[in-house]
Amino acid sequence: MQLKDLEIYNPITIQCHDNPDGDALASGYGLYCYFRDQGKDTRFVYSGRNQIQKTNLTLMVEKLNIPIEYVKPPVDFQKGLLITVDCQYGAGNVTGIPAEHIAIIDHHQIEIEDIALSRIDPSLGSCATLVWKMLREEGYRIGDNVQLGTALYYGLYSDTNQFAEIYNPHDMDMRDSLVYQKSLITIFRNSNLSLKELEIAGIAMIRYIFNDDYNYAIIHSQPCDPNILGLISDLLIQVDEVRTCVVYNEVQEGYKLSIRSCVKEVQASELANFLCAEVGSGGGHLEKAGGFISKGLYEEYYPTLHSEAYFSQKMNEYFDLCDIIYAREYETNLEEMQLYRSSHLPVGYVHSTDILPAGTPVTIRTLEGDTELTVDPDMYIMVGVKGEVYTISREKFENSYRVLPQKFCAEECILRAKYRPTVKNKLNGEIKLLLEHAGVCEAIDEEFVYARRLDRRVKVFTLRDEEKYMLGRPGDYLIVRGDDRKDVSVVEADVFAKMFQPA
């Protein structure tokens, strides 16, 4: 669904969830601006028991002139279209308003599936990002409206614990591109913590669970703003015995999580995904991450399990059911492995100096995260079969690959990767699309590897990167190069099937 699909309706009422937060206000305001500028009779409302009271939110509404109205339930039937934003019509966190037509724009896990006009993307850190994407799809000039840019920026800022738990590249792109008033963000940020929330943080810190086998801590906090969870977890990870921590609280629609790690063996983003698997979504950075667990899904999968027991069990499972391999020290047992040969699958390549001059500092942004490097004549950027991006030396490229005449299919790669990788010039901020410069190549020689199918999770610290592990899940393959027993890595099951065949 796109915004232009909704332009046939008039009037249009935009409703955010009860007790709206910064993200709900920002995303609703973005939709309001769009439909108002299309000449629609547009309203922006919220309902529920309580009106907005938090200082940072009242300031946001006042300073940005957000035309939101409080409507006391029960609310009369609405003609035209009702759009619920940052929530889903019929869910427990939004007061039901009867309407002629319904649409949903949200970034939480799907709870309501029977409404045709829906755009829901749980991979995004904020609903503001989804609205930003939809506005850009219609060519709407966000940069002309600094108030809107400020609102969208603060929506993402507040929903990702001040960007500490931002992980989707679309979130990063919005953050980097918006024109906003820094002075207002400073005001909102410094009006965020109430005396009550200060008390909540203090009480939470003395009610921790600590596991001395794996040096992790868990805290169940009272209901509070997501930023308070981040504050608590930032303090907790500084305790010398604590290597990993999870701080969570219960909100109306589920559980909010804030996760920290200070050891390379635990990537906070990967732990967040593990804790939220099947019941929510999570992600972030190596040291800081966040997540959300849907109450509906949690009760479906774990109807009798208390939340503290759930997190304790999942944390123990995370550490118990995983092997760690340090390639430099790994002793390969070939009796457990089978010999395979490569399938000469075409991949993409870009000579880095074809994009920008040598010596230019750049940021390569992909779905896997940002990579900082400097353009070098001896550096090639490779695009793998799933759209993954990595670099190799010119010598290795010329010795290992032959260039093919066909064009690189960028659109097919984007469908696989779900993101269009970019290269940002850090000197002037210019952004180029990586795939527009890509050619096609294939391996010159057959590569032989030993491989075995994984029956449990494994983390591999390769020789190429001894600080960041590759994660393998059951069904994936652990592979060892035939000519180098220390070259150990992991390949996902579907990629392995395309790249290798039994020798």
Residue range(s) in the chain whose domain bears CATH number 3.10.310.30: 195-320
- The CATH architecture assigned to 3-189 reads Alpha-Beta Complex (3.90)
Query: Would you state the pLDDT for residue 19?
Result: 82
At residue 84 the predicted structure's pLDDT band, cuts being 50, 70 and 90, is very high
Q: Which residue type is seen at 77?
A: F
Whether pLDDT at 39 is above 60: yes
Q: Which residues, 6 or more positions from 96, have their beta carbon under 8 angstroms from its beta carbon? A: 89, 90
Query: Would you state the pLDDT for residue 28?
Result: 98
The third-level CATH classification (topology) of the domain covering 195-320 is Diaminopimelate Epimerase; Chain A, domain 1 (3.10.310)
Measured in whole angstroms, the distance separating CA 340 from the mean position of its chain's CA atoms is 35
Q: Which residues, 6 or more positions from 93, have their beta carbon under 8 angstroms from its beta carbon? A: 17, 18, 19, 87, 251, 252, 253
Measured in whole angstroms, the distance separating CA 69 from the mean position of its chain's CA atoms is 31
- Greater model confidence, 324 or 164: 324
C-beta of residue 156 within 8 angstroms of C-beta of residue 163: yes
Whether pLDDT at 448 is above 60: yes
Region 472-500 average pLDDT? 88
Query: Would you state the pLDDT for residue 149?
Result: 97
Region 184-188 average pLDDT? 95
Least confident of 236-250, 406-420, 430-444: 406-420
Cβ atoms within 10 Å, residue 10: 15
Average per-residue pLDDT for the chain: 90
Region 212-222 average pLDDT? 95
Whether pLDDT at 193 is above 90: no
Region 237-252 average pLDDT? 92
Share of the chain above pLDDT 90, in %: 57
Query: Would you state the pLDDT for residue 120?
Result: 92
Whether pLDDT at 415 is above 60: no
- Integer Cα distance of 108 and 127 in angstroms: 8
- Phi-psi category of residue 386: left, alpha or beta, with phi > 0 → left and psi -120 to 50 → alpha: alpha
C-beta of residue 324 within 8 angstroms of C-beta of residue 267: no
At residue 360 the predicted structure's pLDDT band, cuts being 50, 70 and 90, is very high
- Integer Cα distance of 372 and 360 in angstroms: 11
Whether pLDDT at 387 is above 80: no
- Greater model confidence, 492 or 132: 132
At residue 413 the predicted structure's pLDDT band, cuts being 50, 70 and 90, is low
Q: Which residues, 6 or more positions from 164, have their beta carbon under 8 angstroms from its beta carbon? A: 230, 284, 285, 288, 290
C-beta of residue 292 within 8 angstroms of C-beta of residue 252: no
Region 482-490 average pLDDT? 86
Report the DSSP pairing between strands 457-461 and 322-326: parallel
Query: Would you state the pLDDT for residue 483?
Result: 79
Region 118-132 average pLDDT? 93
pLDDT, tens digit (0-9, with 9 covering 90-100), for 332-356: 888 889 999 887 778 899 999 999 9
- Greater model confidence, 197 or 389: 389
The strand pairing partners of 85, in sequence order, are 16, 105
| Sign of CA pseudo-dihedral 61, 62, 64, 66 | positive
Cβ atoms within 10 Å, residue 100: 12
Quick one: 261 exposed, middle or buried, by C-beta within 10 A (0-12, 13-18, 19+)?
A: buried
Query: Would you state the pLDDT for residue 291?
Result: 84
At residue 283 the predicted structure's pLDDT band, cuts being 50, 70 and 90, is confident
Report the DSSP pairing between strands 216-221 and 244-251: parallel
Whether pLDDT at 330 is above 80: yes
Whole-model pTM: value is: 0.68
C-beta of residue 87 within 8 angstroms of C-beta of residue 16: yes
- Integer Cα distance of 227 and 155 in angstroms: 12
Cβ atoms within 10 Å, residue 448: 14
SS3 call for 251: strand
Q: What are the Cα distances from residue 7, in Å, to 10, 206, 322?
A: 8, 53, 51
Query: Would you state the pLDDT for residue 414?
Result: 59
In residues, how long is the chain?
503
Q: Which two tokens stand for residue 75?
A: 């609310």
Whether pLDDT at 134 is above 70: yes
SS3 call for 293: strand
Report angle CA 243, 369, 250 to the nearest 5 degrees: 55
Residue range(s) in the chain whose domain bears CATH number 3.90.1640.10: 3-189
- Integer Cα distance of 215 and 242 in angstroms: 5
Q: Which residues, 6 or more positions from 437, have their beta carbon under 8 angstroms from its beta carbon? A: 350, 354, 355
Nearest to residue 380, comparing CAs of 407, 347, 410? 347
- Greater model confidence, 369 or 188: 188
pLDDT, tens digit (0-9, with 9 covering 90-100), for 456-470: 999 999 887 888 898
Q: What are the Cα distances from residue 156, in Å, to 23, 24, 69, 107, 385?
A: 6, 10, 22, 12, 31
At residue 46 the predicted structure's pLDDT band, cuts being 50, 70 and 90, is very high
Query: Would you state the pLDDT for residue 412?
Result: 67
Q: What are the Cα distances from residue 276, in Å, to 141, 336, 447?
A: 36, 33, 37
- Integer Cα distance of 376 and 191 in angstroms: 46
- Integer Cα distance of 315 and 259 in angstroms: 12
Q: Which residues, 6 or more positions from 203, have their beta carbon under 8 angstroms from its beta carbon? A: 222
Whether pLDDT at 238 is above 80: yes
pLDDT, tens digit (0-9, with 9 covering 90-100), for 296-317: 899 999 999 999 999 999 999 9
Region 93-100 average pLDDT? 91
Q: According to the per-residue pLDDT averaged within each range, which of 117-121, 231-235, 441-445 is highest?
A: 117-121
Whether pLDDT at 289 is above 60: yes
Respond yes or no on whether the N-terminal peptide bond of residue 11 is cis (omega within 30° of 0).
yes
Query: Would you state the pLDDT for residue 275?
Result: 95
